[in-house]
Amino acid sequence: MICPKCFAEIPDTSAFCMECGARIKEDALDPLYAEGSDREVYPELARANLLRMQGKYEEAIEVCRRILGRFPSNETVHALLGDIYADQGKYEDAIQWYELLVELAPGNAHHMAKLHNLRAMHAAQVAPPPPITEPEVKPAKPKVFAYALFGLLALILVAAAFVAGARLNAVRQSAAEPIKSVQGAVSPSPSTEPVRIPPPVPTDPSPAPLPTPAAGFAGMSAVEAELAQKLSQQLNGTPVWCAFDPASNRWQARIRIQSGVLNRSRVLQEAIALARAFYQLYPNVPNLNVAVIAPSPNGGDVLIFSAEISPQIAALDPTTLSEEQVQSVLQQLSAWWNPAVNFQG
């Protein structure tokens, strides 16, 4: 289907254009078409997300509830409420909001993946500690075995004494014979080269192993999947993919923006948040290639941003960046932006 306002291609089931936010069918009977698009409530969504990033969770929840009072089927508000509760570690509330979101969009695989991650994190939170097992007491071995062992040791000592006596007699006989020297023979001198001891291999003080990676980490090696799962947990379950390129000896990390209006400031904040979490785990890595993807109007995902982010830029707190600081960082980065994506500012 083609949007009559901006002529963008959109799915037939969409209530609003994902590019410009225009209503597609004014006279539709489906109650979803009566809801406001993200573009119509963008200032309120942006304010709620900013309050969330500042840690003002109750105020952010109140803004979201006011939006739901007018547009109860808005998917972005449901996702934002779930993320707000996940930030506070209230996984039961976050799961409830994402379950409602899956009911609103049952065909959205990314919402299902986020719900799966939240359920796994909640299960790990409430899992009981492993039971303490007492060491098994082995029964005492019979005395017959001890007697047999004692007899074997006695035979070994007798044999060792016999061999030592034979060697001593051989040494005495050889000492009595004249020493025959060979002219021109040079006794080998001990080597003066120092013995090199290899340095000890450093051990990785990594925490206890994580649970088995979920299906969303398919296609990565065990190390890549473990790192992706660690970063996803630090980012409240947001899908993350990792890859290591041995040719360039560099790590690459990719994060997905779930929903909402896209603008360059938001994309940069997500990229810096991912790099910040990575450098907390590996502070000695010189730089990281960060990519950001988002849902495509035609289905699937599309790459919208890619850049090398250094530890200096990652040290910035994305939740406190002003608009001037965002523009300054954008000028420092040699970033790639997808020219086919219509960024909202």
CA distance 17 to 344: 14
CA distance 334 to 339: 15
Q: How many domains are contained in the chain?
A: 2
Let me know if residue 135 belongs to a domain. no
For residue 138, the 8-state DSSP code is: P
pLDDT above 90 (res 125): no
Let me know if residue 116 belongs to a domain. yes
Q: Single out the residue in 126, 149, 171 at which a domain terminates.
A: 126
Let me know if residue 178 belongs to a domain. no
Q: Single out the residue in 78, 105, 126 at which a domain terminates.
A: 126
* Model pTM score: 0.43
Structural domain boundaries, residue 40: 35-126
Q: What is the pLDDT of residue 189?
A: 46
- Average pLDDT of the chain? 76
Percent of the chain residues topping a pLDDT of 70: 69
Let me know if residue 121 belongs to a domain. yes
Cβ atoms of 38 and 46 closer than 8 Å: no
Cβ atoms of 62 and 81 closer than 8 Å: no
Q: What is the pLDDT of residue 5?
A: 63
Let me know if residue 11 belongs to a domain. no
pLDDT band of residue 211 (cuts 50, 70, 90) is very low
**DSSP calls for 186-215:** -PPPPP-SPPPPPPPPPP----SPPPPP-G
Let me know if residue 46 belongs to a domain. yes
CA distance 48 to 60: 4
pLDDT band of residue 187 (cuts 50, 70, 90) is very low
Task: Write the CATH number for 68.
Answer: 1.25.40.10
